[in-house]
Structure 1
Amino acid sequence: MSVKVMMQSSGNKTLAGFTRRISFWLGASVLLGGVAAVLLVLQLTVFAQIVAGLAFQHHSLADEIPALKWLVFFLVTRALLQWAADMVAAQGSLRLISNLRSELLQHLFNVGPVGMAGHATGATVTALDAGLEGLEPYFTQYMPRAAMMVVLPFMILATVLHLDGWSFLILACTGPLIPVFMALVGYRAQAIMDRQWTQLLLLGSSFLDALQGMTSLRLLGRARDAVAAVADMADEYRCTTMSVMKVAFLTSAVLEFFASLSIALVAVVFGARLLEGKADFQSAFLVLLLAPEYFMPLRAFSASYHARQNATAAMAGISKLFALPAMAARHENQLLAETLVSVKCENLSAEYEANRPVLSNINCTFARGTLSLITGESGAGKTTLVRLLLGLLSPVTGRIVAEDAHGIAHRDWQSNIGWVPQRPCLVHGTVAENLRMASPQADIASLRNVARQADALSFIESLPQGFDTLIGERGTCLSGGQVQRLALARVLLRKPQILILDEPTAHLDPESERRVATAIAHVATHCIVIVIAHRGAIITHAQQVLRVHKGQVFSGPHLLEHAA
């Protein structure tokens, strides 16, 4: 089944829906397993015939060579078919998990950071990692074995019915008892698995929070307390996991008890009848060979039953992620050939909760060659306005129009935005590697050009290895101003027509602030630049100031003078 077909059938985000998406692979696995089951019955029949011939019909080993060849053929073919069945199920499961991970990531991109704000990062990471991986055994092991639990036992029952009615009656009565008791034990196991999954989510979230806040914890003298708390959670998770193992052992004990009891009853009944001369050895021997195989699929199903419980628990976290509403606008990731000259907000309104608007009927224009400043008190709606421009939040009413010099509006203009947050993300790597995150194929000449535009070339060249210098995660080896200029150079490498910056000069020393502000002003001469700021040197370079107050936007020359 192709990826395209699997993606088209992605509407039902449940275990049943996921099972239908790989029905071809599961069906092929069950078919191969069914043929292997037929060969198993034939293999045991030939083996019983060989033993009976050698023991009671005075056949020599040479007389049984044809039967031995058939026995080897059935044995090898069955092993190959069973291996193929397992491989087909594994292949279908791996393809499904891969597609689910892609779909979930795409959905989270559509949800955007605004929609993800109320969802714990640790829970998201756990669902994407352990959650999706927990579904694989369900499709690889549980589903094929659940099907074989029906196919092989019925095939063996049909064979035993042909050989002996009493043995058929014993197997038919004891076999259904095993799923019944497994279900009774399974109810308790599911509750434990749910608790285990919840503890795993809490453990992942707490561990991530402890890592992210390690600096604050050390400064407050609470690092040991945080480590102890995570250790306690890990110990609780270990105890719950052991409880799951106890239930698994109990399930196996129930299965083995009834299986052994059934086989013993068959052996006793056949033994008595053999002594009385009312049964032949070949039939009795074949039934005794088939009786353990009758319970083998049940054993395999029992061994993989925890996979279903784990998948059910994992689906709770995965379903929550799929249920998050898409809040980010979707657009094609392609650069426009035409030059944009303005971005207009027309009667724009936005809200995070129904009937609680954050912005109402906003009308403003951001022009090319103009550095526009957005200011206002905290909570007034500045961030919401920027989120609308970035496409991270869809407007309730109104629209945002980007036009070129001919007055033509373009749809996919948001893919031409460059965004520099207040705390830019730098990865552990070289300066060049961090810059090339925006354009992996960029050559050194392009890197030097954008670094010069962002006033970052001089400090980069002063580093020990220049562009090949390791700067550490989050730019720990650089100053705040250097980080901001490096982030500006990186975003310029994408050649954006619109540049949006959030407090680019906050927490900088006066000299760094001046250099960053000058670099941004230089970029604004050939770009639409929008900056969120409250104070500092960047204000002196602004040609337009928009003040956001109580969900409204005000502009005018008096605001420019007031900001300055």
Structure 2
Amino acid sequence: MVSPGNRTLMGFTRRIGLWLGAAVVLGGAAAVMLVLQLAVLARIVSDLAFHGHVIADAYAGLAMLLALLALRALLQWAADMVANEGSLRLSAAIRGELLRHLFRVGPVGLAGQATGQMVTVLGDGIAALEPYFAQYVPRAAMMVVLPLLVLGMVLHLDGWSFVILACTGPLVPVFMALVGYRAQAIMDQQWMQLLLLGAAFLDTVQGLTTLRLFGRARDAVTAVAGMADEYRTTTMSVMKVAFLTSAVLEFFASLSIALVAVVFGARLLDGKADFQSAFLVLLLAPEYFMPLRAFSASYHARQNATAAMAGISQLFSLPETAELPGAQARTAGAPLVSISCADVTAGYQAGAPVLSHVGCTFTRSALTVVTGESGVGKTTLIRLLLGLLRPMQGHVTATDECGVLHGHWQDRIGWVPQQPRLIHGTIAENLRLANPMADLDSLRAAAAQADALSFIEALPQGFDTMVGERGAGLSGGQVQRLALARVLLRNPQVLILDEPTANLDPQGEQRVVAAIARAAVGRICIVVAHRPAMIAQAAQVVCLRDGQVFCSPHTAERAA
């Protein structure tokens, strides 16, 4: 539906041109039915009032009037449905394209973006585009179609009325634009306040525990309440402008209709005009301004969409730092035997590399520990291996048992961060996040491999035991072993762990280290660690120093 290209309101409008064109055609047909309906009504009233007809004589005309009314309602319903369907499809496609782009940007590129703002853009921002495409664009087209149709009919009936409508009609959008000129700036301010409010609210919720510990929770709530009140005030300012714009429209519309009525009334009294023509013109005059009323009612949708597009365009402009695996990346293939970094230079800013000319190899069934002081590039190396960061120079490649290089081998990685996340739910539900179709035997096997089966079965309800958000109710070592079991449930060929034994007591550390050593058999296993117990299990130690990598085989005796 949506392909990369012109990501502006005009560009998006062209992408659903067929839907909007069909909506305008159907709306134009409904406008023709309206004019015919009013003409039939004027003829019926004239015949009954001035030509001596009785109700029985008007049955045919009434039947035609009802038929035109039903056909017009059907055509207008179809026009609205077509416009809404096109708008919904486009909004869904934009949201999907933006999500894929953010996945390609990756955590590295999104590090400086506020989560609350991104959520607001993906939710309220894209939702703000729907009324623009479903209402504003079709009504803007109908603002041309129906008035021209009415003017043509009025010109055929009476020249003076045509002159009055033709002169007063263009004044309405001109004065609406003058009155609503300030509205766009207010809408931009409102949208920025909404983004800040979303970001502040999410930050407050995430840091609520810390705020309560330091006794600042009430201050944070007060700050969010103040931002919400500012947003309310700005919203009311937008509504004031909208009401003023509607008042301008109603003033000029009423003035024009009154002029038509006065001119026709005087001519009717002088006998220079017939009733049927006068009545039909008076019926058509309000319909001449009806598209303008509808357009005015939806004009705020354009301003809201314009403000929302600023946030959407900002996210689309983020440079891509990661590659989204394609369908071919999920094929099984031969097992991987090694991952190699060849002359790799990587960093986050041009001219300031964190790693320079790195060369190292990680092999299967050989536990590799990456170590080094803080800030030397361990996280950068892991991001390169995970595919979250593209190298400035060199290549990171993986080779299978047949000697074939794989371009999308990152799909075979199992990743355990330093602080793994558990959701509020049962232990089985947390494990099945990695494999929703896993049965109980598979859960038990993965838990046993991670040395988590014994403590799970010791719990009151076993795998059905509820755990809190972020593993509340479990120890740090138990959370780490559950996270390892969850990753092993996918049976990854590459296992990467970041500081898995940090903040653990010695007993918990020994159990986690032993579980990782067992999981490393038959896999490429890479662990970022500083503590001696983990380093002692390494078959290879990769030491980072000043952006350089020093690889060496390792034994327990050397570690001592």
> Is 2:400 the partner of 1:397?
no
User: Structure 1's 562 and 318: CA in aligned 2 closer, same or farther, altered over 3 A?
Assistant: farther
Superposed displacement of residue 129, structure 1? 0.3
2:220 to 207, 223, 226: 226
2:484 to 483, 488, 501: 488
Q: Residue 399 of structure 2 aligns to a residue in which SS?
A: strand
> Is 2:551 the partner of 1:555?
yes
Superposed displacement of residue 558, structure 1? 7.7
2:43 aligns to what?
49
1:30 aligns to what?
24
- Paired with 1:174 and 1:493, the residues of 2 have a C-alpha distance of 73
Which letter does structure 2 place at the counterpart of 1:322?
F
2:238 aligns to what?
244
Structure 2: gaps (5+ residues)? none
Superposed displacement of residue 557, structure 1? 4.8
Task: Describe the superposition over 1:415-464 as per-residue Cα deviations: whole angstroms up to 9, x where unpaired.
Answer: 10000001112112111111111111111111110000000111111222
> Is 2:215 the partner of 1:212?
no
> Is 2:149 the partner of 1:159?
no
User: Structure 1's 559 and 231: CA in aligned 2 closer, same or farther, altered over 3 A?
Assistant: farther
Superposed displacement of residue 563, structure 1? 5.2
- Paired with 2:459 and 2:333, the residues of 1 have a C-alpha distance of 37
Q: Is the 8 A contact 2:344 2:356 kept in 1?
A: yes
1:466 aligns to what?
462
Question: 1:282-297 counterparts in 2 under 5 A?
Answer: 282-297=276-291
- Paired with 1:184 and 1:551, the residues of 2 have a C-alpha distance of 60
Higher mean displacement: 310-319 or 462-471:
462-471
- Paired with 2:554 and 2:109, the residues of 1 have a C-alpha distance of 37
2:98 aligns to what?
104
2:292 to 279, 288, 298: 298
1:328 to 322, 330, 336: 322
1:16 aligns to what?
10
Which letter does structure 1 place at the counterpart of 2:323?
A
- Paired with 1:69 and 1:10, the residues of 2 have a C-alpha distance of 52
- Paired with 2:447 and 2:76, the residues of 1 have a C-alpha distance of 60
Q: Number of paired residues?
A: 558
Question: 1:334-413 counterparts in 2 under 5 A?
Answer: 334-413=330-409
Which stretches of structure 1, 4 residues or more, deviate above 4 A after TM superposition?
Answer: 557-564
Superposed displacement of residue 192, structure 1? 0.3
Superposed displacement of residue 243, structure 1? 0.3
1:75 to 63, 69, 79: 69
> Is 2:445 the partner of 1:445?
no
Superposed displacement of residue 310, structure 1? 0.2
1:130 aligns to what?
124
- Paired with 1:436 and 1:200, the residues of 2 have a C-alpha distance of 36
Which letter does structure 2 place at the counterpart of 1:274?
L
2:268 aligns to what?
274
Q: Is the 8 A contact 2:539 2:553 kept in 1?
A: no
Higher mean displacement: 466-475 or 85-94:
466-475
1:86 aligns to what?
80
Task: Describe the superposition over 1:290-348 as per-residue Cα deviations: whole angstroms up to 9, x where unpaired.
Answer: 00000000000000000000000000000011111110034334153312111111111
Q: Is the 8 A contact 1:505 1:536 kept in 2?
A: no
Q: Is the 8 A contact 2:121 2:308 kept in 1?
A: yes
- Paired with 1:376 and 1:560, the residues of 2 have a C-alpha distance of 18
2:534 aligns to what?
538
Which letter does structure 2 place at the counterpart of 1:145?
R
- Paired with 1:226 and 1:330, the residues of 2 have a C-alpha distance of 38
Superposed displacement of residue 559, structure 1? 9.8
- Paired with 1:220 and 1:127, the residues of 2 have a C-alpha distance of 32
Which letter does structure 2 place at the counterpart of 1:374?
V
Structure 1: gaps (5+ residues)? 1-5
Q: Residue 369 of structure 2 aligns to a residue in which SS?
A: strand
> Is 2:259 the partner of 1:265?
yes
> Is 2:428 the partner of 1:435?
no
Q: Is the 8 A contact 2:190 2:231 kept in 1?
A: yes
Superposed displacement of residue 537, structure 1? 2.0
Higher mean displacement: 100-109 or 401-410:
401-410
What is the CA RMSD across the aligned residues, in angstroms? 1.2
2:162 aligns to what?
168
User: Structure 1's 303 and 563: CA in aligned 2 closer, same or farther, altered over 3 A?
Assistant: farther
Which letter does structure 2 place at the counterpart of 1:325?
P
Higher mean displacement: 293-302 or 321-330:
321-330
2:420 aligns to what?
424
Superposed displacement of residue 185, structure 1? 2.1
1:3 aligns to what?
none
Q: Residue 229 of structure 1 aligns to a residue in which SS?
A: helix
- Paired with 2:426 and 2:318, the residues of 1 have a C-alpha distance of 36
Superposed displacement of residue 402, structure 1? 1.0
Superposed displacement of residue 561, structure 1? 6.5
- Paired with 2:559 and 2:359, the residues of 1 have a C-alpha distance of 20
Which letter does structure 1 place at the counterpart of 2:537?
H
Task: Describe the superposition over 1:113-144 as per-residue Cα deviations: whole angstroms up to 9, x where unpaired.
Answer: 00101111111000000000000000111011
TM-score (norm 1): 0.97
Q: Residue 256 of structure 1 aligns to a residue in which SS?
A: helix
Task: Describe the superposition over 1:340-378 as per-residue Cα deviations: whole angstroms up to 9, x where unpaired.
Answer: 111111111112111111111101011111110111111
1:517 to 501, 504, 513: 513
- Paired with 1:404 and 1:31, the residues of 2 have a C-alpha distance of 59
User: Structure 1's 372 and 335: CA in aligned 2 closer, same or farther, altered over 3 A?
Assistant: farther
- Paired with 1:214 and 1:270, the residues of 2 have a C-alpha distance of 71
Q: Is the 8 A contact 1:335 1:415 kept in 2?
A: no
User: Structure 1's 272 and 563: CA in aligned 2 closer, same or farther, altered over 3 A?
Assistant: farther
Superposed displacement of residue 562, structure 1? 6.9
Q: Residue 330 of structure 2 aligns to a residue in which SS?
A: coil
Which letter does structure 2 place at the counterpart of 1:12?
N
Q: Is the 8 A contact 2:105 2:318 kept in 1?
A: yes
Q: Is the 8 A contact 2:103 2:324 kept in 1?
A: no
